[in-house]
Amino acid sequence: MNLLLIAVAILLFFGLIVFILLFGESPRLRNGIVGKANRALTVYIPRWIIGTLKKILGPKNWNRLSHLWHYCFESRNPFLQIFFMILTSGSIYLFLKYGLPHIPGIYLHSTHLIIIPSQIVSLYLSYYMACTVDPGTITADNVQQYLDHFKYDGLLYQPKQCSTCRLEKPARSKHCSMCKACIGRLDHHCFWINRCVGVNNHRFFFIFLFTLVQFCAYGAYLCFQIYRGMIIEWGLDAAYVIDKKTGQHSPITFRKAFLHVLQKDRIIGAIGILATVVSLVVFLFFLYQLYLAGRGITTNEAFKWELIEDSIDRGELWLEEEKTATNDKDKVKKRMDGSKKRQRKVESLEELDNIYDEGFYRNLYNVFFPPRMKKAA
């Protein structure tokens, strides 16, 4: 089987899965085939697996497995961090052992011998920062600062207390059951860095994603150029194919020469393919994160906005108009049908304002230069 075809198929498959998981619940897609695939992946298949396992294992073993599941997937643990470190360090080691002897080469200048170590250092450093910087833990000491800075919009956020932390819940914050704390401007809990992505470490998360994308793209580029060099070194550029019937000589195509080298020297090829896949998948995620951050929405709020869109579709969202106030001071409240107060039905999402959206550049500025809050002790 053609190795390149397999690589492309793997690439498309992972891309599709990521797309389905990221966008399958969005109101526009959830009623179509993407939505169905999303429910299959997140609801039906897990339900089927759970049902089958319960039957096979019996109640005692099932309980043990649930505890293990809880530890692995529903509480903080370093598994994915270890996996990430093994995968990156292993690939780097193999590249240094098998790829580095080809540099400098026909297509690779000796400056790469300086770029490669600085790339490796920047990847580990950015990962270390993303894994260790406090995401913005809210404590009794700093809750007032958060309350002062993040105002309630009366739509996504209302004044409320966190039932676990027993503290006021500032707008844009959320309690993370894994980190066991409320996190300021929470984006999401990330298993790869084993902590939340919040107001204080969102920038490091972005820097890490960007570093990883360009690190993998650079790695894939190096592997490709090493192979191109091998084609020349092995004299494949001058090779030709003889047609058995006519006896005609025709030069070998680049694609054929490339595949020949790929099959003879598979380790660099495997690293190159892995780097390409990771680079593309993480790049998609990076773009999605950038898109949300640029619109002044966290991943958590994207979900909340979807719920709001849902209630608009069902005709259950009402705008409460203050009689004395001017139009721009409309107060928004979610109400069920039938309430007698003066209000009008919200017909579309455009009627609602995201007060946290200060424009693309300002929103990104807020992510990269967050407000200074007292740190958790």
CB of 17 to Zn ion, least distance (A): 24
Does 165 bind Zn ion (CB under 5 A)? Our answer is: yes
CB of 160 to Zn ion, least distance (A): 10
Q: Which amino acid is at 312?
A: I
DSSP state of 135: -
DSSP states of 225-255 as a string?
Answer: HHHHHHHHHTTGGG-EEE-TTT--EEEPPHH
User: Three-class SS string for 146-203?
Assistant: HHHHCCCCCCCCCCCECCCCCCECCCCCEEECCCCEEECCCCEEECCCCEEECCCCHH
List the interface residues with Zn ion, window 333-372 (CB under 5 A): none
Q: How many residues bind Zn ion (CB under 5 A)?
A: 10
4-12 LR contacts (CB < 8 Å, sep 24+): 4/255, 4/258, 4/259, 4/262, 7/273, 7/276, 7/277, 10/273, 10/277, 11/276, 11/277, 11/280
Q: How many CB atoms lie within 10 A of CB 193?
A: 23
Does 81 bind Zn ion (CB under 5 A)? Our answer is: no
Task: Tell which one of 11, 40, 41, 162 touches Zn ion (CB under 5 A).
Answer: 162
Q: Taking contact as CB under 5 A, which single stretch among the options 187-195, 226-234, 308-316, 352-360 is the one that binds Zn ion?
A: 187-195
Angle between helices 202-233 and 360-368 (to 10 degrees): 90
Does 176 bind Zn ion (CB under 5 A)? Our answer is: yes
- 89 or 177: whose CB is closer to Zn ion? 177
CB of 182 to Zn ion, least distance (A): 3
Does 161 bind Zn ion (CB under 5 A)? Our answer is: no
Q: Taking contact as CB under 5 A, which single stretch among the options 89-97, 105-113, 186-194, 211-219 is the one that binds Zn ion?
A: 186-194
Contacts of residue 313, defined as CB under 8 A and 6 or more positions apart, other chains included, come to 27
Does 131 bind Zn ion (CB under 5 A)? Our answer is: no
Does 164 bind Zn ion (CB under 5 A)? Our answer is: yes
- 130 or 213: whose CB is closer to Zn ion? 130
Tell me the sheet residues that pair with 242.
249
CB of 130 to Zn ion, least distance (A): 13
CB of 76 to Zn ion, least distance (A): 7
Cβ–Cβ < 8 Å for 140, 167? yes
Q: Taking contact as CB under 5 A, which single stretch among the options 27-35, 195-203, 216-224, 252-260 is the one that binds Zn ion?
A: 195-203
3-class DSSP state of 115: helix
- 189 or 202: whose CB is closer to Zn ion? 189
- What tokens does 113 get? 């011998």
Cβ–Cβ < 8 Å for 284, 18? yes
CA distance 270 to 262: 9
Task: Tell which one of 103, 116, 143, 196 touches Zn ion (CB under 5 A).
Answer: 196
Task: Tell which one of 189, 202, 203, 228 touches Zn ion (CB under 5 A).
Answer: 189
User: Three-class SS string for 264-305?
Assistant: HCHHHHHHHHHHHHHHHHHHHHHHHHHHHHHCCCCHHHHHHH
Q: Taking contact as CB under 5 A, which single stretch among the options 151-159, 177-185, 203-211, 299-307 is the one that binds Zn ion?
A: 177-185
CB of 158 to Zn ion, least distance (A): 16
Does 199 bind Zn ion (CB under 5 A)? Our answer is: no
Does 179 bind Zn ion (CB under 5 A)? Our answer is: yes
- 30 or 175: whose CB is closer to Zn ion? 175
Does 177 bind Zn ion (CB under 5 A)? Our answer is: no
CB of 125 to Zn ion, least distance (A): 22
Does 147 bind Zn ion (CB under 5 A)? Our answer is: no
Per the rule left: phi > 0, alpha: psi between -120 and 50, beta: everything else, 15 is alpha
Q: Taking contact as CB under 5 A, which single stretch among the options 94-102, 178-186, 215-223, 250-258 is the one that binds Zn ion?
A: 178-186
Q: What does the binding site for Zn ion look like in residue numbers (CB under 5 A)?
A: 162, 164-165, 175-176, 178-179, 182, 189, 196
